[in-house]
Structure 1
Amino acid sequence: MVEVAAGVITRQDGTFLLGRRAGNVPYAGYWEFPGGKVEPGESAAQALRRELEEELGIRVRHLRPWLCREHDYEHAYVRLRFFEVTAWEGEPFGQVHDRLAWITPGGEMPLPMLPANGPVLKALSLPRCMGITQAGKVGVMQQLNALEVSLSAGLRFVQVREPGLDAVAYRDFAREALRLAAQAGAVAVLNTEPEFAQALGAPGLHLPARRLQALGERPPFRWVGASCHTRAELEKAAGLGLDYALLGAVMATPTHPGEVSLGWEAFARLSADLPLPVLALGGLRFSDMETARNAGAHGVAAIRGAWEFRQDQAFSPPSLASGGAAGTR
């Protein structure tokens, strides 16, 4: 096993940096996230700081753990620990790459990409803020109005979860929510039976933990995620190749009084070293984004707090930037 640390270096506009491998090395000419091998006695974070200074001439000021993926290359079996680099000093320039490129998530990618890096690109296009609907509690029209307002403000990830609606009411509500989400270019997932979601033409499916455990293969949707409460459930989601997981409850919630919450330390421990993005859920608002991402979360999912969405909550504050270019996302 070769341990490798890789950096997702992200600017304030959301673009991230890729480099093309140069010289007499395996996969020369392939694009990758900058980074390199972890040396004996180093942590992955220490190795990445060293590698980025050697490869790009930048000094990392702030990074966060993100994903961990394994890949069996012809020349080595590698474990890649990806970190989000959100603040640095200096301007990146190629010292071991013959080209550098700033890429927009979801946009056109340079080819060819290193095989282990390819799946990370989809994860980068996953929005950071998920709003979970509650039409059964607040009313269908009020929820649709709140959804439309939040989408217009920049919300781009919606889970339609309505256990309080009957099948007909859910169908009608989900159909309108899907229309609004598609109009805004948002990712929409339905928390319902796969066959029902397919009949509505939904691009995504969200699985409750009980349905996740019963699955033997990934359902055929563009986006598939699951609600998880334990490490075993998270590993099941990862093993099925799902696109994301929700983990909670991180904090106490009014809807589940007396339920023991995880807290951030347990969240960080349970979600560490997984190959899929994990969003924090439970008693949170999007203003908790910085705390969540420092604990290794991809982002935040919220129910009551989702419908006060502001675009600036989807990004980390730029105060960490100093002396050079800085990426915050």
Structure 2
Amino acid sequence: MQGIPTTLLAVAGALRRPGGAWLMQRRPAGKHYGGYWEVPGGKVEPGELPGAALVRELREELGVDIAPGGPHPLTFAAGPRTDAPGVLVILLYTITAWRGEPRACEPGASIGWFTPEDMASLLRPPLDIAMCDALAATSW
């Protein structure tokens, strides 16, 4: 018997530095989509608001602090879950101000700053491809 389809809510935070480069994180080898580049973020925990989840995830993954009112919603991406029946929905936020120098906090992960043109050549999960397209279309 298959499980009941569920929706998994996640958040992603696109840090943008002056000059237009966006931060991407490379997933550690051995993980799902290992070696792929993604916009950093993660799951929204039960009872957690998306903005709070974003602040928590970026602190855990990048070691940076984001003011709760600092992230700006840009778009969302949705597609089938790969771990269970259902849909994964990722809310994408842009961020231009943070405290701390971003670093890859997870063992085996790495980060880099990329222009929209450079992002297009990176190996990315399907939903990150859609989110990077939205980032490339931003005019600021």
Report the TM-score, using the length of structure 1 for normalisation.
0.37
Correspondence 1:105 to 2:116: yes
Matching residue's letter, 2:53:
A
- Percent identity, aligned pairs only? 35
Q: Return the alpha-carbon distance in structure 1 between the equivalents of residues 119 and 13 of structure 2.
A: 20
Q: Report the AA paired with residue 35 of structure 1.
A: G
Shift, 1:69, TM fit: 1.3
Given that 2:76 and 2:131 are in contact with CA atoms closer than 8 Å, whether structure 1 keeps it comes out as: no
The one-letter code matched in structure 2 to 1:78 is L
* 3-state DSSP of counterpart to 2:60: helix
* Alignment of structure 1 residues 80-159 onto 2, 5 Å: 80-96=90-106, 98-107=109-118, 109-128=120-139
Q: Does the Cα contact within 8 Å between 1:103 and 1:109 map onto a contact in 2?
A: no
- Change beyond 3 A, Cα 1:75–1:88: same
TM-score, normalisation: structure 2: 0.84
Deviations 1:206-243 (A, max 9, x none): xxxxxxxxxxxxxxxxxxxxxxxxxxxxxxxxxxxxxx
Output aligned runs, 1:182-221, within 5 Å: none
Alignment match, 1:142 = none
- Among candidates 65, 81, 88, match of residue 73 of structure 2: 65
Distance in 1 of aligned mates of 2:138 and 2:90: 22
Larger strand proportion of the pair: 2
Runs of at least 5 residues in structure 2 that lack an aligned partner in the other structure: 1-6
Using the TM superposition, give the Cα deviation of residue 127 of structure 1 relative to its aligned residue in structure 2, in angstroms: 4.6
SS at match of 1:27: coil
Contact 2:10–2:41 (CA<8 Å) still a contact in 1? Answer: yes
Amino acid at match of 1:69: A
Higher gyration radius (CA): 1
Superposed CA offset, 1:165-209 (max 9, x none): xxxxxxxxxxxxxxxxxxxxxxxxxxxxxxxxxxxxxxxxxxxxx
Higher RCO, Cα 8 Å, sep 6+: 2
Once the two structures are TM-superposed, the CA of residue 3 in structure 1 deviates from its matched residue by 0.7
